[in-house]
Structure 1
């Protein structure tokens, strides 16, 4: 993300839950006595985000949106596995009204309180068995104000809408397990009035019209954290291209009102992708692109997977490099908890420094010294943001980048530029913590880097000297 700094939605929801591969329903586990999954994963900064007791492998979303009324109806197929013996499980869903839930042909009891929808199973599901949920919902999504004042969730625009979800805005438009530790693949179908486009993550698998409506079917076959899912509905100019040599398709979607302002930089996207792959290793996904909207539709750029979103005022060279780097660091390698946010933002900020070093004759050391001199970057340690409101504040970005520069200095350039891509490759499509990273760097380099971690990553005070 590129903002230096969960929210309400109104929909009604009906859900049909089908249990597949659940021996407890067919006599395989006759003595299973489950307990409810937790209504949160216990994240140190967002304790109520996510849910315990199950792990999602796939979301199949089908949305139908009317931009005139703001009405959204949809279904969310959720394929998951029980991670404990379950008698009930929760879905994250803010401000929605639940209509019904069924297990197969049988309706289940559902409770709703705050952001939690609790589905009570009439027979326990054994640990390791499958859950298959088909959730039907409708209503008028509302913009969400984050704890730091930023707006996220489902943002209405003049002719459509834009869905952005960090840290938890994805709850505004589909129910699920909304914590970065539970990643899944996605199919996203969006039906809109003819003449509008619906852009989402991954590859456009199909597009067809029925009457006066058009459906766009996007597929993400590589896992994605829910906060990196997006939908952009509106009148966009679509411009296809490809990454040189590797050939991944690049699809950019630009609002016509800002097309002229973006044209020059858009031509650089394939080149920037090639440069990033040289620095960070093989691009982990099958497609790329950007979505550029007028200022005011959203106030910050966001690394939505394979298709980052930019207000036109933030569509500039350094921000584009930053959001491209997030495809490796944040989307493919995703933090285990929100306290590990510097593993996203420190890496993406250091990518800006590397780009400047290679293209603008600004050594990374110079960028480091400028960041070191700014006392705002020393308000708290990069690896220990004190509150949920601090995960997008300066120390997470700039001090995080300083940590990487000190690692580079300690291990030398040859080793450092091995660590960058190998870290991304080793953790590809997974989750990682700060401790995972520090352990990996020391194992790869063979060096004890306690002095680096103690001072630059965890230290409370600004050092007297560089």
Structure 2
């Protein structure tokens, strides 16, 4: 359910607390509303710069936390801890600036390469013991304590201790460089009562029990962004472990841990996770981490899920297939490859929401996938607030959660962009390009990515220039509003022209270039689907057939999900083309076909040959032809037998006619 942005946070809390959660609730809806419900994690008006360029690169965090007394009444939020941060220097450096929220953390001492510190609001400045050169590695230690304050990042109550950090909450429970592009490995040690189970990122390397105390040690050997670092723990947690055997070499197993509250039953999700892991493996390649897991939390975690690396947080009792499918996809897109800045969040949420729908299709059939994506588009069209999916300014100044995690934009519209990308390049290139993106160890795997990085990778893997597609759908607001017209005309005995004019009339967005599919139906039965490229507004397409057309349907498969459209019979200049008497001889043809045309005035003309999917096979250079009759030979010897489309473009008119290649 989408709520108006002007509703207060209190009203949101009331509404969602009373909302009925069912298995039909989308995983993306859980995720979006959960993040919207968590108030913005900042107490002061100041934020440190959120830029991909800074003076050092954090390599490892080593956290040692004593949270033993947080599990018993009165459930204090206080704890003592130390943090050793190892970092590589990128520029000449004698001090480093970290994030440490002063309302939550009190810094007591620094050591190792640190000599002194200044803690002011959100920023912890640490003076180093000398000036370090680029390439050197240094470590600083920080002794600190967490204050007894609610900060919407470190949660305590009724035997639970857990964290929730997105987008900038990690700085509330440990000093760090709190930007998504600076990923680091993590060692986390925690002292807890013996009756507590505690999960975190990576693998459990040690758990030492002495009398009434347990020390857990979790180590993530793969780098983690700070907003995905997590603690999930409670008294008398239930824990089951499912082992997924990888379908391909080396056929080893992945432990998937299920932490759940007394009275809950995650058995259906334990059964589902194996085929889900197999399905994602088939599309993205190997699971990226040494373990995975899910943990249901207390009612303080009010709604949805949070894709913490290798241990997803879920709301209490929320063992739902759509939510698991959404958050599990994040392990590849969001965790393994992380948005470099909050302007790049589409790379997280658009992907998880889209592949949630592909899982629906895997389980329930292609039509169910199609219906889910059309529902996503309908939600966006009904609730569109009118801004773009990505705003470059968000890289340095993240907006309020109500904007950053807006359900209509960040989830629904974002997923539809991937659907339309698949339509533009076709299934084979789509899945190939996504697989190559997920398995690019040089640039993306275990690293961060910007949207331009992703676009460049798609260009490379498809062999196409796709900036036009992604730029218009990601960086521009709104969507096309088509007001198309068409007409039929018998040009000579038995030959009919179909005139189609593609017009966009939106005033709140630029023109959207897209391939269009047009279905023409005939009096004697049957129909023909034609795909053309619409790269300018008010473009006229002319199709010639040897039978009488009776109906025309624009985008019959609804592949341009993000649109509004009307297509009606029109009486306008489209029925008086500049280009006349276009013929193809012979037809069918074997080795070559002659394209002939007659133009009334001097104009540029371009001729192309495409297959029925719209893929360009031959493109001639644009030439200025004088008035009169012209002909051009097309070499078709290298093309298999079948149907093709010959297109003659003159000005804003495009004439298309079917060519049959006989193959003998």
Residue 175 in structure 1 maps to residue 194 in structure 2: no
Distance 1:360 1:142, change over 3 A: farther
Contact 1:293 1:310 in 2 (8 A): yes
Residue 54 in structure 1 maps to residue 56 in structure 2: yes
Q: CA deviation at 1:103?
A: 4.2
Structure 2 residue aligned with 1:215: 215
Distance 1:446 1:363, change over 3 A: farther
Structure 1 residue aligned with 2:405: 392
Contact 1:406 1:452 in 2 (8 A): no
Q: Which moved more, 1:286-295 or 1:454-463?
A: 454-463
Contact 1:180 1:334 in 2 (8 A): yes
Q: CA deviation at 1:86?
A: 1.1
Q: CA deviation at 1:266?
A: 2.8
Residue 461 in structure 1 maps to residue 469 in structure 2: no
Q: Which moved more, 1:268-277 or 1:423-432?
A: 268-277
Q: CA deviation at 1:347?
A: 0.2
Structure 2 residue aligned with 1:366: 371
Which of 291, 294, 306 aligns to 1:290? It is 294
How far apart are the structure 1 equivalents of 2:61 and 2:360?
39
Q: CA deviation at 1:373?
A: 2.4
1:327-384 CA-partner distances (Å, limit 9, x unpaired): 0001110111110001000000001110111112344433332222233246322122
Contact 1:168 1:227 in 2 (8 A): yes
Structure with more strand by fraction: 2
Which of 32, 47, 51 aligns to 1:3? It is 32
Larger Rg: 2
Residue 250 in structure 1 maps to residue 256 in structure 2: yes
How far apart are the structure 2 equivalents of 1:164 and 1:335?
18
Contact 1:371 1:399 in 2 (8 A): yes
Structure with more helix by fraction: 1
Structure 1 residue aligned with 2:420: 406
Contact 1:61 1:188 in 2 (8 A): yes
1:9-54 CA-partner distances (Å, limit 9, x unpaired): 9xxxxxxxxxxxxxxxxxxxxxxxxxxxxx83444xxxxxx99321
> Which consecutive residues of structure 2, in runs of 5 or more, have no partner in the other structure?
1-27, 483-559, 561-664
Which of 431, 438, 441 aligns to 2:458? It is 441
Residue 301 in structure 1 maps to residue 314 in structure 2: no
How far apart are the structure 1 equivalents of 2:101 and 2:214?
28
How far apart are the structure 2 equivalents of 1:327 and 1:273?
11
Distance 1:233 1:326, change over 3 A: same
How far apart are the structure 1 equivalents of 2:424 and 2:232?
43
Contact 1:40 1:52 in 2 (8 A): no
Q: How does 1:57-72 map to 2 (within 5 A)?
A: 57-65=59-67, 66-67=69-70, 68=72, 69-72=76-79
Structure 1 residue aligned with 2:594: none
How far apart are the structure 1 equivalents of 2:469 and 2:355?
20
Structure 2 residue aligned with 1:349: 353
Q: CA deviation at 1:190?
A: 1.1
Q: CA deviation at 1:249?
A: 1.1
1:113-152 CA-partner distances (Å, limit 9, x unpaired): 11111112242122221111222122335333xxxxxxx4
Contact 1:77 1:135 in 2 (8 A): yes
Distance 1:436 1:141, change over 3 A: farther
How far apart are the structure 2 equivalents of 1:177 and 1:51?
12
Q: CA deviation at 1:283?
A: 0.8
Corresponding residue SS for 1:248: strand
Q: Which moved more, 1:445-454 or 1:284-293?
A: 445-454
Corresponding residue SS for 1:379: coil
Q: Comparing both chains, which one has the higher relative contact order based on Cα–Cα distances under 8 Å and sequence gaps of 6 or more?
A: 1
Q: Which moved more, 1:389-398 or 1:335-344?
A: 389-398
Length, aligned pairs only:
420
Q: CA deviation at 1:314?
A: 3.9
Contact 1:295 1:313 in 2 (8 A): no
Q: How does 1:14-53 map to 2 (within 5 A)?
A: 40-43=48-51, 52-53=54-55
Q: CA deviation at 1:288?
A: 0.9
Structure 2 residue aligned with 1:237: 238
Q: How does 1:113-262 map to 2 (within 5 A)?
A: 113-140=120-147, 142-144=149-151, 152-234=152-234, 235-245=236-246, 246=251, 247-257=253-263, 259-260=264-265, 262=266
How far apart are the structure 1 equivalents of 2:271 and 2:299?
21
Contact 2:436 2:461 in 1 (8 A): no
Distance 1:451 1:98, change over 3 A: closer
Which of 403, 423, 437 aligns to 1:423? It is 437
Corresponding residue SS for 2:60: strand
How far apart are the structure 1 equivalents of 2:467 and 2:55?
36
Structure 1 residue aligned with 2:92: 85
Contact 1:51 1:90 in 2 (8 A): no
Q: CA deviation at 1:298?
A: 4.0
Distance 1:271 1:141, change over 3 A: farther
How far apart are the structure 1 equivalents of 2:375 and 2:319?
23
How far apart are the structure 1 equivalents of 2:214 and 2:224?
26
How far apart are the structure 2 equivalents of 1:457 and 1:51?
23
TM-score if structure 1 supplies the norm length?
0.85
Q: Which moved more, 1:167-176 or 1:358-367?
A: 358-367
How far apart are the structure 1 equivalents of 2:88 and 2:468?
42
Contact 2:459 2:465 in 1 (8 A): yes
RMSD of aligned residue pairs (Cα, Å)? 2.2
Corresponding residue SS for 1:185: strand
How far apart are the structure 2 equivalents of 1:224 and 1:134?
20
Q: CA deviation at 1:82?
A: 1.1
